Structure 1
Amino acid sequence: MGAAPDHPSIAILVVAGGRGARAGDGPPKQYRSIAGKTLLARTLEGLGAATPEAALKVVIHRDDFNQYQASVAELSPSERARLLPPAFGGATRQDSVRNGLEALAAEGAPDIVLIHDAARPFADAALVARAINSAAIHGAAAPGVALADTIKEIDDTRVVIATPERARLRAVQTPQSFRFDLILKAHRAAAAGGREYTDDAMIAEAAGAKVYIFDGDAANFKLTTQQDFARAMELLKPAAFADLPDIRMGQGYDVHAFGPGDAVFLGGVEIPHSHGLAGHSDADVLSHAITDAILGAIAEGDIGAHFPPSDPQWKGAASSIFLARACELVRARGGAIANVDATIICEAPKIGPHRERIRESLAATMGVDIGRIAIKATTTERLGFTGRQEGMAALAIATVRLP
């Protein structure tokens, strides 16, 4: 390995061509808004601040060019000026990275390249500096985090066959960093051999390079699921709420009569009962009230306008679909759900034993922290239709913040 330049030129290749299916319905996750900015814009903003000397290049899906342009428009003029033209991805992440590397080579190869996932917005300056230094010294490097849990290797019958020594294991993150000529050659060899690898460090290993593992950062987590987005939102909210000054409130109310069945659905949780609730969908009276409250806060009509009961596709549908869609409409406008306060009105079943499961279910569906969801229950002292146990009702208030 030759000596590293005293002042190496650096490029950061940001991989943003995936579809992000595990994040739920909506646009690809890198273009979803989180605390008022798209995930991609937040990642580029953080990388730019961490490495003022580096050029930034994004690899995108061919169908996403307009979304990419809208996302980078959220950056400052000086941040946009550092962006090289985007490269188009391939069928796999490996293909996409190789396309990005080839584009960098054609534009004037840097000495060092960092390859980073667009879905990791929390890579800070210290982590990026370790990546650059490690690549300059070792040629190929990746950040790794020590494991807190014991790992078991199992066979096809789920029987443990080995327990690796935890102290020698690391969970690998990005940015992974390389001498540019080394990783470009390794990617070309992997493509020629028709082999697929799970990360760029493995590609370097397959080409014979020794990959150094430097200290990663547990805060540098990847946003994959709705729960990950909720966690990221909680981290960003203290600062981001200052950018979301438009505070809206909406109310929701729903009623369903009891009918045949042996359980009711509340907030996505199935609760045993002597009757079910009658309705076109799963008749989740709580989810319906919360959905209407969120839609009301952003003046987007009501649940029937988006999911009409006359449409047969919603017959028996899980109401979590409706609630998740309302939350996605908030995020699409760059907003955030600050809290939901809901009351279930019924004589039976008892809600108390199920309250925490309901809150957990709603938090997962909505992509918010459970601490932002309050669920209460009351009776009407046997007055009215709920008192006569003819049905259930729910009231909800949602507070939403928008740019």
Structure 2
Amino acid sequence: MLLRRCCLALMILLISALSGCSLLEVKIDSQTIPLTQQELNMRIMTREYSQQFFAQVEQAADVLQARYDAGDQLNQSHILLWKINAEEGMQAATYQVSPIASLIDSWVFVAQMNEFFHSGQGKALFIDSDGIKGAPGNDEAKQVSAHLAREIDALAKGLLKPSAYQSTKDFVEQFVATYPFSDLSMIRTPAYRAWLEANQIAQEEAVTTLGTMPEAIGDVSDRLSLMSKQTPKIMTWKAQLLALNSSASIEQVNQALDSLKVTADAMNDFIINNPEYMNHLAQEMAIHLQPLVDDIDIKTQARLAQLSEERQALEKMVARERQEVALIISHEREALAQNIDQISQQVVTVAMDKLMQLIKSTILYFVLFIVVIFFAPLGLGYMLGRRSQVRKQKA
């Protein structure tokens, strides 16, 4: 009876130890580093600001475009160049992997545009509503650039700590003074690397993670959504710019074709109403009108050839834009696939490590269980036998 109770107590103790063993709990961790709350706020707010930037630049450009004559090739081209280069530069600055890099590059780009229209080469580029060219702060380009500069300054002030905000603002002002826009091409100078050097931060320490899987997928989704919205508009503006500066004139071609039609109708009417002079007229036309017809044919062919060249150039531009979009999408998919593959390998590695630990601990506890089941009764029986033998000897 005593032996049975001892075995039962040992089994209860063993089961309690196994049930409380933490090694039996397998936790799979992808080991990804999520973005901080500040980084997430920077990414979301900066990209929301970029949408505001696009809308306000387009609205101001449309007002300026209506102020000039439709045939004003120079000023209409300037407005189209502003819309194209401003929005492409802002896209490149805002949609980066690093949220802090997006904020700093966007801040610098907007400040460069504001400086270009107020004190730089673009201060006398457009006329205001009163028809005065270069008036300080009156045309729409100056107004919208100043407003956007104030907005992104307020955005940075809300996202950064006071000390970091002031130092970064000083850096932006100095960088804009060093690298101003020289013309409407608005060539963007990335400022993030210079900001790292100014703050004595090593580049390898500044590399940020893509975040968790939902964060990485959300980033790719934002980029694809941006391309679907902005690419058709930018391609349309480029086509308008190309047509506006084309060397071929559609009106001249149409005038030549109309003149040719009138001449042909008059000749046909004359032949029908004067059959007796038909042979004489044909001879005179062969002699006197043939050079004119040849000249019209040469000019028409030249105009059509120019139109064909412009059409081919437009097709090449569209094909190039499509290829660039396809390359961007392919690159994003590649990066996402590599990230998924890396995470899956990490998951498998962690799972295998935990499984090996579980197997080892199970074998150890199984051996202990065997020892308790088979050797504990023998030991207890031996001890009880010795005790009973000693009692017998004493008796």
TM-score (norm 1): 0.23
The structure with the greater share of residues assigned to helix is: 2
Question: Could you state the TM-score of these two structures normalised by the residue count of structure 2?
Answer: 0.23
Which is richer in strand?
Answer: 1
